[in-house]
Structure 1
Amino acid sequence: MQQNVIITCAVTGNLTTRENHPGLPVTPEEIANACLEAAEAGAAVAHIHVRDPETGKPSMELKYYQEVVERIRAKNNALILNVTTGPGGRYHPSDDNPAIAGPRTTLMRPERRVEHIVALKPDIATLDLNTMTFGSEVVINTPDSVKVMAEIIHGSGSKPELEVFDTGHIQLAQDLLKAGVLKSPALFTIVTGVKYGFPSTTDVMATAARMLPSDAVWTGFGVGRMSFPMAMQAYLLGGHVRVGLEDNSYIAKGVLAKGNGELVERVRDLIEKLGGKIAEPSRAREMLGLRA
């Protein structure tokens, strides 16, 4: 088990809506405040997506990312910022002709998906390695696209966070590390509970963790009702943990969480009751090999 455990809070994500949780942060101010709330509760890392403040739909607009980062940094310069590059990889085959993109398609060039990373240079940039069925669409992250994004992320001075949803994604990461496209020690996040990816079980998380490079730093989490159980499995297996409204809206069965802060407080309490110590942002930076 880790002596110092890094808590990441994913405050809003790409798919959760206010139908799932009425307090889901949507505007840049709400998202920034949610990150600050999570930091107060013990999170060392904030995982950030942005939304169109008018519609609440996922957005890739640089101005929203910039406002979120500036609002956070005005009040907290220590919190580690992990900014997504996930949006832009979804393909929705149209009903009449699956070769033609349907209205939910967001596919864009890999360079476009990391423009905000180049501009803002966050501490960490998520790099999804999954090509898989995701809901009623597919997510496409080809090796060539991943290479382009990885090179730009590294060139911006950010550290890629390699999100893996199945065993093949870990094998892709291994190949990219051998090729020098990715740098060691790598930072991984094991995602469980997404349908047709890793299921949220102890055996699966343990298997995934064993497949990682020996020098890797990793976080594990589960989606939905398995959020806290999988966080504890990650801790017991030697990893770090992630919670947040992106992954789970509930603090207990049938009880909506008050917000991201309460989710962080709960996982912190569980870790400390098991004898773990929560890593402060400065210690987390050292552990992750981030710039000071």
Structure 2
Amino acid sequence: MNRQVIITCAVTGAGDSVGKHPAIPVTPAQIAAAAVEAAQAGAAVAHIHVRDPETGRASRDPALYREVVERIRASGTDVIINLTAGMGGDLYIGPDHAPTRFGTDTDLVGTEERAVHVAELLPEICTLDCGSLNFGDGSLVYVSTPDMLRAQAALIQRLGVKPELEVFDTGHLWFAKQMLKEGLLDQPPLFQFCLGIPWGAPAEPRIMMAMRDMLPDGALWAGFGIGRMQMPMVAQAVLLGGNVRVGLEDNLYLDRGVFASNGSLVERACGIVERLGARVVDPAEARGILGLGSLDAAGRPA
């Protein structure tokens, strides 16, 4: 069991949740405010995507990331910023008679372009999605090949940003361990088990335990489940020795029929952690656990 728990809040995500919830953060101001709200509720880490302020659709625009990060830092709120670097991997396969006639929603770019905002803003953490995946029903494939991953891991390592290794299935974890052997990841590696996304690993206790058992010695890890499995996986992760993630990226409801906020989800997770006899750590303590450096006067990694 983990007695000192880091809570990450994924505040908006890239999914089509706008319109399914009355208050999904969309604009940079809303996303930054959501990160501050989560931190005030007890989250040590805010995981950030950005959206087009006009349409609400997922975006890779570095200017939007810059505004979000600047607003968080200007708020004076201490929270570890974790920027996604997973955007730019969406490939919509064409119809059966013309599979290379890719869908209009395809957004597939190389590794450097996926990390432009990371290189500019130098967050303390960024994500590295550790493999390709059939993402839900239909014809969407998230593409992250071994060659792409090696190149992106090397880039993140050169930037001095800590990668959060997002693994959606056991093969992703297997390859992340290979990158560790090849020296593309620094010690201690940080893993995030992403469970319940069709058609990756399901959000089941035995799956989380199996992935935990596959970890290399000394690894740090967290895990989450989506939808109604979010809070059960909070408890499961703590009991198995890990950290946790909640937030509107992964789940829209606090209770059946009751819309959540990022703050209410963090508060619910804090309650579960504390009732299990563990303690939620603050950002300064989380930096020590994760092996992150200190911040300068502007709130940037020193």
User: What band does the TM-score fall into relative to the shorter chain?
Assistant: over 0.9
For residues 257-279 of structure 1, give each alpha carbon's deviation from its aligned partner in whole angstroms, at most 9, with x where no partner exists: 1x100000000011111111011
**Aligned residue for 1:237?**
240
Decide which of 276, 283, 287 is 1:285's aligned counterpart: 287
* Secondary structure class of the residue paired with 2:203: coil
Which amino acid letter does the alignment assign opposite residue 78 of structure 2? Answer: A
TM-score w.r.t. the length of structure 1 is 0.98
Matched, 1:251 2:267: no
**Aligned residue for 1:93?**
93
Which amino acid letter does the alignment assign opposite residue 273 of structure 1? Answer: R
For residues 36-68 of structure 1, give each alpha carbon's deviation from its aligned partner in whole angstroms, at most 9, with x where no partner exists: 000000000000000000010100001000000
**Aligned residue for 2:117?**
116
CA distance in 2, matches of 1:41, 1:201: 27
**Aligned residue for 1:30?**
30
For residues 6-64 of structure 1, give each alpha carbon's deviation from its aligned partner in whole angstroms, at most 9, with x where no partner exists: 00000000104222211000000000000000000000000000000001010000100
Which amino acid letter does the alignment assign opposite residue 83 of structure 1? Answer: L
Which amino acid letter does the alignment assign opposite residue 132 of structure 1? Answer: L
* Secondary structure class of the residue paired with 2:108: coil
Decide which of 214, 217, 220 is 1:217's aligned counterpart: 220
For residues 112-145 of structure 1, give each alpha carbon's deviation from its aligned partner in whole angstroms, at most 9, with x where no partner exists: 0001100000000100012110022011100111
CA distance in 2, matches of 1:291, 1:21: 37
Matched, 1:263 2:265: yes
For residues 146-192 of structure 1, give each alpha carbon's deviation from its aligned partner in whole angstroms, at most 9, with x where no partner exists: 11111111111110000001110011011111111112210000011
1:231–1:242 CA contact under 8 A, matched in 2: yes
* Secondary structure class of the residue paired with 1:188: strand
Which amino acid letter does the alignment assign opposite residue 81 of structure 2? Answer: L
Which amino acid letter does the alignment assign opposite residue 61 of structure 1? Answer: D
**Aligned residue for 2:132?**
131
Matched, 1:160 2:147: no
2:28–2:50 CA contact under 8 A, matched in 1: yes
Listed as ranges, the gaps of 5+ residues in structure 1 are none
Listed as ranges, the gaps of 5+ residues in structure 2 are 295-302
CA distance in 1, matches of 2:226, 2:3: 25
* Secondary structure class of the residue paired with 1:149: helix
Matched, 1:176 2:184: no
For residues 176-232 of structure 1, give each alpha carbon's deviation from its aligned partner in whole angstroms, at most 9, with x where no partner exists: 111111122100000110112111111010000110112110000001110000111
Bigger drift between 229-238 and 99-108 goes to: 99-108
1:94–1:103 CA contact under 8 A, matched in 2: no
Instruction: State the shift of 1:77 in Å.
Output: 5.1
For residues 78-122 of structure 1, give each alpha carbon's deviation from its aligned partner in whole angstroms, at most 9, with x where no partner exists: 210000011100110122511232111110011100011000000
CA distance in 1, matches of 2:2, 2:223: 13
* Secondary structure class of the residue paired with 2:155: helix
* Secondary structure class of the residue paired with 1:177: helix
CA distance in 2, matches of 1:24, 1:130: 28
Alignment length (residue pairs): 291
CA distance in 2, matches of 1:157, 1:100: 38
Bigger drift between 120-129 and 98-107 goes to: 98-107
**Aligned residue for 2:48?**
48
TM-score w.r.t. the length of structure 2 is 0.95
CA distance in 2, matches of 1:76, 1:101: 44
Instruction: State the shift of 1:5 in Å.
Output: 0.3
CA distance in 2, matches of 1:288, 1:264: 20
**Aligned residue for 1:57?**
57
Instruction: State the shift of 1:287 in Å.
Output: 0.4
**Aligned residue for 1:191?**
194
RMSD: 0.9
Q: Judging changes above 3 Å, is the alpha-carbon distance between structure 1 residues 247 and 16 closer, same or farther for their aligned structure 2 residues? A: farther
Which amino acid letter does the alignment assign opposite residue 128 of structure 1? Answer: D
